[in-house]
Chain A
Amino acid sequence: MRKEGLVRVLVLLVVGIFLFAGGGLAADKPVKIGFAYIMSGPFATYGQFAKQGAELAIEEVNAKGGILGRKVEAYFEDTAGKPDVGIRVIRKHVFENGADVVMGIDSSGVAAAVAPVMTELKTPLIITHAATPDVTGSKCNRYTFRVSLNINQNIAMAAAIAADTKVKTWTTAGPDYSFGHQSWEYFQTYLSRKKPDAVFLPQAEVAFSPAATTDFSSYITKIMNSKADGVLISLWGGNLIDFVRQAVDMGFFDGKREILMTLGAATEVLYALKEKMPTGIWVGTRYWFLANDTPVNKAFVDAYVKRFNVYPSYNAHGAYAAVKTYAAAAEKVKAVDKEKIVEGLRGLSLELPVGKITIRPEDRQAVTDGVWGKTAADPKYPIRILQPIRKFTGAEITPPVAETGCKMN
Chain B
Amino acid sequence: METFLANLFNGLSWGMLLFLISIGLTIIFGVMGVLNFAHGSLFMLGAYLCMQFVRWTGSFWTGLLLGPPLVAALAVAIERFFLRPLYGRDVSLQLLLTFGLMLFLDDGVRLIWGAAYHVVQPPDALSGSVAIFSQSYPLYRLFLVVLGPLAGLALWAFFTFTLWGKLLRAAAMDRQMAEIVGVRVPVLFTAVFAFGAWLAAVGGALAAPHQSVGPAMGERIIIESFIVVVIGGMGSFPGAFVGALILGLLNSFGTTFFPQVQMALPYILLAGILLTRPRGLFGAES
Contact = CB atoms under 8 A, between A and B. Distances in A.
Interface of A: 39-42, 44-45, 47-48, 176, 203-210, 212-215, 217-219, 221-222, 224-225, 238, 241-242, 245-246, 249-251, 268-269, 271-274, 276
A241 B117 contact: yes
Interface string B246-258: 0000011111100
A203 B261 CA distance: 12
Given A217-B14, A251-B135, 7 more contacts: A41-B215, A42-B219, A45-B117, A48-B114, A209-B255, A212-B223, A217-B13
Contacts of B135: 224, 250-251
Contacts of A242: 211-212
Given A215-B10, A217-B10, A241-B119, A41 B252 contact: no
Nearest to B212: A241
Contacts of A274: 119
A245 B141 CA distance: 13
Interface stretch (B1-9, B57-65, B228-236, B278-286): B1-9
A238 B214 contact: yes
Nearest to A212: B220
A246 B210 CA distance: 6
B212 A40 contact: no
Contacts of A212: 219-220, 223
B249 to A, nearest CB: 10
A230 B211 CA distance: 24
B115 A272 contact: no
A45 B252 contact: no
A45 to B, nearest CB: 5
A180 to B, nearest CB: 13
Contact of B129 (A40, A41, A219, A250): A250
Interface residues of B, number: 47
Contact of B7 (A215, A218, A238): A218
A40 B110 contact: yes
A268 B2 contact: no
Contacts of B219: 41-42, 212
Contacts of B138: 246, 249-250
A47 B116 contact: no
Name, among A208, A215, A224, A245, the residue most crowded by chain B CB atoms within 10 Å (CB to CB).
A215
Nearest to B119: A272
Contacts of A221: 3, 6-7, 10, 252, 255-256
Given A225-B2, A249-B140, A39 B255 contact: no
A259 B145 CA distance: 30
A249 B141 CA distance: 9
Contacts of B252: 217-218, 221
Nearest to A272: B117
27 contacts: A40-B110, A41-B219, A42-B216, A42-B219, A44-B110, A45-B117, A203-B260, A204-B259, A204-B260, A207-B255, A215-B17, A215-B210, A215-B211, A217-B10, A218-B7, A218-B11, A218-B255, A221-B6, A224-B135, A225-B2, A241-B117, A245-B210, A246-B138, A250-B129, A250-B135, A250-B137, A272-B117
Contacts of B80: none
B217 interface: yes
Given A48-B114, A251-B135, A42 B214 contact: yes
A269 B115 CA distance: 12
B106 interface: yes
Contacts of B10: 215, 217-218, 221
Nearest to A254: B136
Given A41-B219, A217-B13, A221-B6, A250 B119 contact: no
B118 interface: yes
B210 to A, nearest CB: 6
A377 to B, nearest CB: 17
Contacts of A207: 255, 259
B268 interface: no
Contacts of B115: 39-40, 44-45, 47-48
Contacts of A208: 259
B133 to A, nearest CB: 12
Contact of B116 (A203, A213, A268): A268
Contacts of B114: 45, 48
A171 to B, nearest CB: 12
Interface in B54-112: 106-107, 110
Name, among B119, B136, B140, B251, the residue most crowded by chain A CB atoms within 10 Å (CB to CB).
B119
A215 B251 contact: yes
Contacts of B214: 42, 44-45, 238
B256 A218 contact: yes
Contacts of A40: 106-107, 110, 115, 215-216
Closest 7 CB pairs of A and B: A44-B115, A249-B138, A272-B117, A218-B255, A218-B252, A217-B10, A212-B220
Contacts of A39: 115
A214 to B, nearest CB: 4
Name, among B2, B114, B117, the residue most crowded by chain A CB atoms within 10 Å (CB to CB).
B117
B201 interface: no
B42 interface: no
Nearest to B215: A44
Contacts of B251: 215, 218
A251 B9 CA distance: 15
B221 interface: yes
A246 to B, nearest CB: 6
A277 B213 CA distance: 16
A219 B7 CA distance: 9
Given A48-B116, A245-B119, A219 B217 contact: no
